[in-house]
């Protein structure tokens, strides 16, 4: 099990999650993401077979407070899903989890967000910006996450700086090949 240590208190913040705790992750995922932005339970659980894919979570006792699902590549990480249980939001937990993950990997990071067209989307983008991410203006579509899912127009945020078109294309190609199985 991988641990991320809170440097201020020494307490463990994030633990690597395995299949036996996946049901709790998926419960939070279902409550945090629309159907088109998540896979079916079976398809999401099958990702544990991919060497690049990991899920980290923060627990209190036997209660999962939040999780971060990550694809780790040589040059960057792709944060595919990140959610805190609704009962534990707005207390700084998400910020702490995100910072710990970025410190642990020591890599640049990308993630997808909805375009800033709603109050919720603007709030979410603001959260990531306060934590060092930059909203990029390149066109991006999340491909369908299953046969019964639709593609979703999203934006890419990057950490610790904006990415130019050339880097964006490399990131997108890596995600499309690895996550969505698109052949060149």
According to the model, what pLDDT value does residue 11 have?
A: 54
Domains of the chain: 3-178 (3.40.630.30)
pTM for the model stands at: 0.91
- Across the chain, mean pLDDT equals 92
According to the model, what pLDDT value does residue 34 have?
A: 95
Contact 155, 140 (CB under 8 A): yes
Please count the other Cβ atoms lying within 10 Å of the Cβ belonging to residue 91.
11
Task: Name the phi and psi angles at 76, rounded to 5.
Answer: -160, 170
Strand partners, 84: 66
CB-based contacts of 87: which residues, under 8 Å, 6+ apart?
A: none
- Cα separation, 74 vs 88, in Å, equals 33
Identify the helix (H) or strand (E) that includes residue 156.
Answer: strand 152-159
According to the model, what pLDDT value does residue 8 have?
A: 44
According to the model, what pLDDT value does residue 88 have?
A: 80
Burial of 138: CB neighbours in 10 Å, binned 0-12, 13-18, 19+: middle
SS (H, E, C) 44-105: HHHHHHCCCEEEEEEEECCEEEEEEEEEECCCEEEEEEEEECHHHCCCCHHHHHHHHHHHHH
pLDDT along the chain (184 residues), means of 10: 41 83 96 96 97 95 93 98 88 91 96 96 97 97 96 98 98 97 85
């Amino acid at each position: 099990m991988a641990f991320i240590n809170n440097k201020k208190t020494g307490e463990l913040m994030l633990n690597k999650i395995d299949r036996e705790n996946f049901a709790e992750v998926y419960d939070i995922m279902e409550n945090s993401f629309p159907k088109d932005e998540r896979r079916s339970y079976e398809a999401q659980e099958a990702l544990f077979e991919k060497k690049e894919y990991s899920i980290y979570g923060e627990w209190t006792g036997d209660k999962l407070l939040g999780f971060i699902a990550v694809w780790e590549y040589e040059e960057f990480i792709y944060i595919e899903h990140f959610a805190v249980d609704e009962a534990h939001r707005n207390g700084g937990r998400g910020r702490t989890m995100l910072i710990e993950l970025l410190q642990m990997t020591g890599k640049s990071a990308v993630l997808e967000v909805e375009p800033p067209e709603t109050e919720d989307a603007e709030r979410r983008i603001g959260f990531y910006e306060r934590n060092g991410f930059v909203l990029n203006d390149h066109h991006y579509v999340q491909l369908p996450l299953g046969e019964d899912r639709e593609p979703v127009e999203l934006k890419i945020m990057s950490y610790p700086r904006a990415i130019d078109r050339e880097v964006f294309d490399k990131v997108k190609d890596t995600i499309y090949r690895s996550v969505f199985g698109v052949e060149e």
